[in-house]
Amino acid sequence: MQSTDLDLRELLSFRPDGGTMFFMGRRALLFDAVALGLLRKELIDSLGTAAARSILTRFGYTHGMRTAESLKMEFPDLFADSWTGPKLHMLQGMVRVEENQRSNGTDGEPKVQSYWYDSYEVEQHLLHLGLSEEPVCWTLTGFASGYVSYWAGEKVYFIEDRCCGKGDAVCHVEGRTREQWGEALEPHLPYFESESGDEVFQTLAKALRETEERLKKQRRQMSCLSAPTEEVGCITARSNAMRRVVELTRRIARVDSSVIVTGESGAGKERIARLIHEESARTGRPFVAVNCGALTETLLESELFGHVRGAFTGADRDKMGLIEAAHGGTLFLDEIGEVSPAMQVKLLRVLQEREVRRVGENVSRPVDIRVVAATNRNLSDEVTKGSFRRDLYYRLRVIEVRVPPLRERNEDILPLARIFLEQASRRAGRKVTGFTPKAADQLLRYTWPGNVRELQNAVEHAVALCEDSRADLEDLPEELRSALPRAGIVESVRPLEEVEREYILAALRATGNNKARTASELNIGVATLYRKLADYEKQGFLA
């Protein structure tokens, strides 16, 4: 038998009445992927990322080695087939391996390299923890290392250099021996090798977690590339409007009251909610975010409150809800204005009684959470219309924070754009260091109806198209390139002559340098336009 002959229906056997099941003759267990994801989150929250990664990597390593050992004893033909390990990885539902290249590892070539898709660890890390700064396929690289080490008869260490969990298009791993890796292995080696003195580990676990939390905050500050007085938790606050918001947010964080964060879509409401959490006494506990508008009423109830086995069709196990998962920390309810009247009643009870009852269960469980809600609607109007409960509104709106749209904080546009440029360049492996003056000027002209989210997308677009070290005007999306100067005054008054010049030149670009059409659109004579353009050329504003 070869690996291509493997069929899950033949490998998996079980008693019809349950109790035991076997995979290739060895007892196996079924675990829900979300449960494993919550275990990962709990390990990270309790012990810190480094300790959690070490535990999960060694767990995967042992799993891989045991799998190879069983194969060698019971299916020697399969063990000899180099593709069997990746095939088992896929049959067990862990990952899809699309390419697996092997060599003797000479001349600097890796002994094994693979491309991974649909990693369950990526899926769960993104679900519970969001985008990571480092690769997240810890048990999978551990499994590959353990399996190949036993198969090859020497220790082979797999390192993931690309991962979908940190924004890459594909997960990619390479396996080499310790000698072949050389010094590049040193930062990864502690995750594979168990340290002695468990009592020391337990003593330092809490301190390690607290240190990692501080380092995460410092990294966020450093990534903002701005003065500390202008950056708080990667919230850019150069404009007076945003500084007032940050100052209010920090004051709010000191108390435990419920908060509503209002503002247009994409303005950064979740950033403010996270800052409230990080600046509060709950900073070391979970921050659980739920997009209420993205889920149906039934699914939202199950996600928030959890359920017991048999509560509804398909509920084959007990499940903890996100409200319980946020115990001790902060629950962020995004798009709270989209919640149905029936769900509003249930949320009100949680806020009043500070307890939650799973779907299908009669037992109430106490919860200690701080609720921060966000909406792009005017909830006061919704209350007047009768679509949002007045009592829930006042329970949530103990304090309200309004996040101004990007067009009202012009001073924040370029600092934010530079932050996104640095992040996008790093993810894309490009060396784009800044914007040309024309590109920067055009970013300031635009009104940004999509707010910060649209700015981030525009910058990523520019990084993708940029062929130089600086993003130019032509690298920006079409709607930005043709943007006219914004109307109105934001925070500063400029000379009328300067505003007129910018508007005329922008109108000229928008018409493709068609002077007759430009004059017509501006409702001025063509001679007047030519005269003004001649003046601008003398002043150096036209190339």
Name residue 38's amino acid.
L
Place of tokens 């001025």: 524
**Nearest-CA neighbor of 396 among 354, 353, 336?**
336
Distance, CA of 509 to CA of 241 (rounded, Å): 31
Buried b or exposed e, range 255-266, using 16+ CB within 10 angstroms:
ebebbbbbbbeb
Contact predicate 480/458, CB 8 Å: yes
Q: Which residues contact 331 (CB under 8 A, 6 or more apart)?
A: 288, 290, 322, 323, 369, 370, 371, 372
Given this model, what pLDDT does residue 201 score?
Answer: 46
Distance, CA of 503 to CA of 491 (rounded, Å): 19
Q: What is the pLDDT of residues 56-115, one digit of tens each?
A: 999 999 888 888 887 787 777 777 877 777 777 687 788 888 755 555 555 555 667 888
Distance, CA of 29 to CA of 298 (rounded, Å): 30
Q: What is the pLDDT of residues 275-320, one digit of tens each?
A: 999 899 888 788 999 999 888 888 898 889 988 888 888 777 888 8
Place of tokens 């966020």: 220
Cβ of 196: how many Cβ atoms within 10 Å? Answer: 6
Q: State the Cα angle at 183 between 181 and 187, rounded to 5°.
A: 95
**Nearest-CA neighbor of 475 among 484, 486, 464?**
464
Which tokens is 413 given?
Answer: 């546009």
Q: What is the pTM of this model?
A: 0.53
Distance, CA of 120 to CA of 143 (rounded, Å): 13
Given this model, what pLDDT does residue 401 score?
Answer: 94
Q: Which residues contact 476 (CB under 8 A, 6 or more apart)?
A: 439, 442, 443, 458, 461, 462
Which tokens is 34 given?
Answer: 């979300």
DSSP designation for 521 = H
Distance, CA of 217 to CA of 457 (rounded, Å): 24
pLDDT higher than threshold 90 for residue 374: yes
Given this model, what pLDDT does residue 46 score?
Answer: 83
Structural domains of the chain sorted by starting position, each given as residue range(s) with its CATH number in brackets:
3-194 (3.30.1380.20), 231-404 (3.40.50.300), 412-482 (1.10.8.60), 496-539 (1.10.10.60)
Q: Which residues contact 301 (CB under 8 A, 6 or more apart)?
A: 343, 346, 359
Hey, is 23 helix, strand or coil? Answer: strand
Distance, CA of 501 to CA of 135 (rounded, Å): 50
Q: Which of 174-178, 194-198, 298-302, 354-358 has the lowest mean pLDDT?
A: 194-198
Q: Which has more pLDDT, 255 or 196? A: 255
For 123, counting Cβ atoms within 10 Å of its Cβ (0-12 exposed, 13-18 middle, 19+ buried), the class is middle
User: Please, which pLDDT band fits residue 257 given cuts at 50, 70 and 90?
Assistant: very high
102: phi then psi, degrees, rounded to nearest 5: -125, 145
Helices (H), strands (E): how many in the chain? 24, 20
Q: What is the pLDDT of residues 397-418, one digit of tens each?
A: 999 999 999 988 888 999 999 9
Q: What is the pLDDT of residues 213-254, one digit of tens each?
A: 555 555 554 444 444 444 554 577 888 889 999 999 999 999
Q: Which residues contact 242 (CB under 8 A, 6 or more apart)?
A: 235, 236, 404, 409, 412
Given this model, what pLDDT does residue 504 score?
Answer: 86
